[in-house]
Amino acid sequence: MRGCVIFTAYFLSSTCFLHLVVCIEPISGISAAAALVAAAFLSGYDVLKSYVTETCGDRWIHNNYTGLPKQLNEKLYGQHLVLRAVNNHIRGHLKSAEPAKALALSFHGWTGTGKNYVSRIVAEHLYKEGMHSKFVHLISATKEFPHEGMVPFYKDQLRAWIEGNITRCSRSLFIFDEMDKMPSGLIDTIKPYLDYYENLGGVNYRKAIFLFLSNTAGGDITQYVYQHWSNGYPRKDIKMADVEKIISRAALNSKTGLWHSELISKHMITAYIPFLPLEKSHVRRCIKDSMVAKGYVLTDDRVESVVEELTFWPESEQVFSVTGCKRVAEKVDYVMEEY
């Protein structure tokens, strides 16, 4: 006698359900039915898991490149070159179903100009968990690679780490901070993963994104912008091509993490992106954002009191902030203790 079993499983208050009808022959079909039921349970478990645990799928990786330019425009000050470059490169990479290679953007500029800030905004718009996502990886050169004499060990460590993470999720984001302090030659380890290979050892690395953050060329960029300002030209007239030359020359000649690197000689870096020194007007906007975020009453006098606690350069003209917006939050707290 032939019979049918109806099997239904509900998850998350019927948000997700499985409905399975199994028709079997007596005895001989029992094992087949058991296998089908087990498969249904496993499938339901995978669906349920994707709801409660971060997985490498569209539910957790948004690729929200439409919201990225809006956030950058609203919260990143004085960086017109960064706005266009980051938005266009990220958008172009994500819109391609099969990118030609992994995206590699090298951020350069003085401290406090927004390199880490932009990295965080990118992470927040691509991953539901932002910087807390297990597919976003922040590597500090001074913390992870402190000893020059251990480069061979670090190379093995870095290679295994990148391969393991991209094998788990091809849409991974890697942020290398303090590249200028990385031991020379170490970064060449990742060259194969930035190349044009369709797969390497059976793994596709071309969907990954690498961001390299460095103070290299910060002084040269500042000198160029100061000269531009001294000649009376508007800041927004500065072109990417002019500053990119300064960065690539500094990266080649200064003993930093990219010095003599194959990433440069083999043209593995997608773009060198300059972060210009911030002027007082930009720092004032950072101060206002910080005061509002901390719940302080915002007044012009209080903003100027914070400005007076910061250092600007050159001494005679007081144009550019020495530390950008990096020390703004602590100076806001310090000043507001007096009110």
pTM: 0.84
Exposure string of 43-78, with b = 16+ CB inside 10 Å and e = fewer, is: ebeebeebeeebbeeeebbebebeebbeebeeebbb
* pLDDT tens track for 18-55: 444 445 455 555 566 566 555 555 555 555 556 679 99
Residues 273 and 107: beta-carbon distance below 8 Å: yes
- The CATH number linked to 178 is 3.40.50.300
- HSE toward the beta carbon, residue 281, CA cutoff 13 A: 4
Does residue 270 lie in a domain region? yes
Note whether 209 and 287 are same-domain residues: no
d(CA 141, CA 309): 30
Note whether 162 and 193 are same-domain residues: yes
- Helix (H) or strand (E) run with residue 17 in it: strand 16-24
Note whether 259 and 150 are same-domain residues: yes
Note whether 245 and 330 are same-domain residues: no
pLDDT range class, residue 264, cuts 50, 70, 90: confident
Note whether 191 and 44 are same-domain residues: no
Does residue 59 lie in a domain region? no
Note whether 97 and 194 are same-domain residues: yes
Residues 54 and 128: beta-carbon distance below 8 Å: yes
Does residue 60 lie in a domain region? no
Does residue 151 lie in a domain region? yes
Note whether 235 and 144 are same-domain residues: yes
Does residue 58 lie in a domain region? no
* pLDDT tens track for 41-98: 555 555 555 667 999 999 999 877 788 999 999 999 999 999 999 999 999 999 999 9
* pLDDT tens track for 146-172: 998 999 999 999 999 999 999 999 999
d(CA 335, CA 339): 8
Mean pLDDT of the chain: 88
Note whether 321 and 260 are same-domain residues: no
Note whether 267 and 290 are same-domain residues: no
pLDDT at 7 over 50: no
Instruction: Output the pLDDT for position 17.
Output: 46
d(CA 304, CA 300): 6
Note whether 125 and 243 are same-domain residues: yes
Number of domains in the chain: 3
Residues 65 and 171: beta-carbon distance below 8 Å: no
Residue 303's contacts (CB-CB under 8 Å, 6 or more residues apart) are 284, 287, 288, 291
Does residue 61 lie in a domain region? no
Does residue 229 lie in a domain region? yes
Identify the domain containing residue 22 by its residue range. Answer: 3-52
Number of residues written out for the chain: 339
